Amino acid sequence: MSVAETIGDENSLADAEPLLRVEGLKMHFPVTEGLFMRRTVGHVKAVDGVSFTIAPGETLGLVGESGCGKTTVGRCILRLENPGAGKVVFAGTDIAGMKASEISKLRQDVQVIFQDPFSSLNPRQKIGSIISEPLRVHGIIKDPTKRRERVAELLRICGLNPRFADRYPHEMSGGQRQRVGIARALSVNPKFIVCDEAVSALDVSIQAQVINLLEDLREQFNFSYLFIAHDLSVVRHICHRVAVMYLGKIAELADCDELFDNPRHPYTQALLSAVPVPDPTVEEARSHQILEGEVPSPMNPPSGCVFHPRCPQAIETCRREVPELQEFSPGHMVACPVVLGK
């Protein structure tokens, strides 16, 4: 994939009709107490008003630290959670109120690759059966012989030997299992794949193999990814646009290069400064902005801007008013009154 091609893609992406539109998505989980008389004592505001769009063929990165709600956003899109409020419109239909039969149909178009290649494959199922199950369940290929052929083809696409179909997951390494997870996601020809920390559990040399595979597949089949990750270097490598989440809200959303070259939100700036670069000379020259404190509890988030207790630039307004995600420059959205000059 040449650089020029990628840039060309991006320009056309901006005009395209979004494949997925998430609007004001909220997901609050009740916290209960008591053994017999269960009562709700509060809510964990895992996702608290998140909006974004993804165009066909586009990869949106969703980054943030643990507990910021990025995985819950992914699960809502897959309808593994029923969103509490807001809309998730996929290819023109709102998936929030879907019936079970419709959800099954949705999952032909929306697939997922999970983080842990060890717990996301059934240890008692052979690889061939794992990959062909979606084909069988959705009735895409009914003839078993043809199904086997398709499995072999999928394994080849993902860089595995077709003979692996007869193996069990424990006979494979982490990187190979992750390829099986990818082959399973590809089996139904999805339009959209949620990658939830898909490369985080892998060693660097294997991680690069899987990143390259994901990129090749995107080019070959033109699907969209929601790439959920905490590793900013990987996100920068693979994504077209990036949304930075903090405590259930999007702090900043922009084109990949714009976000990494000109981060505006104080949280994004601190996050980027915290990522070490594998080069001692660069590291010596960099100034490290160390954030004080820790992420507050999502059960009892701070008033106003959720980031204000840790923010080096916080002003009085931040304590009182919840900032809206607003356009700072074309395509670059920031939720920060200081940056937006208010």
Q: What's the min distance (Å) between Cβ of 79 and other proteins?
A: 28
Q: Are 155 and 186 in contact (CB under 8 A)?
A: no
Does 35 help bind other proteins (rule: CB under 8 A)? no
Does 66 help bind other proteins (rule: CB under 8 A)? yes
**Strand 93-94 and strand 241-246: pairing?**
unpaired
Alpha-carbon torsion angle 222, 115, 92, 191, nearest 10:
20
The residues facing 61 across adjacent strands are: 227, 242
Applying CB under 8 A, the span of 15-23, 219-227, 267-275, 328-336 interacting with other proteins comes to 267-275
Q: Which is nearer to other proteins, 228 or 234 (CB)?
A: 234
Q: Which of 83, 128, 175, 323 binds other proteins (CB under 8 A)?
A: 175
Applying CB under 8 A, the span of 107-115, 161-169, 180-188, 252-260 interacting with other proteins comes to 252-260
Applying CB under 8 A, the span of 83-91, 140-148, 183-191, 201-209 interacting with other proteins comes to 201-209
Q: What's the min distance (Å) between Cβ of 113 and other proteins?
A: 18
Close Cβ partners of 138 (under 8 Å, ≥ 6 residues apart): 104, 107, 108, 188
Does 311 help bind other proteins (rule: CB under 8 A)? no
Close Cβ partners of 212 (under 8 Å, ≥ 6 residues apart): none
Of 78, 129, 73, the C-alpha closest to 107 is 78
Q: Which two tokens stand for residue 248?
A: 């259930």
d(CA 148, CA 154): 10
Does 65 help bind other proteins (rule: CB under 8 A)? yes
Q: Which of 234, 251, 334, 338 binds other proteins (CB under 8 A)?
A: 234
Q: Give me the residues that bind other proteins (CB under 8 A), please.
A: 2-3, 6, 65-66, 173, 175-176, 203-209, 211-212, 230, 232-234, 236-237, 256-257, 260, 270-283, 288, 290-291, 294-295
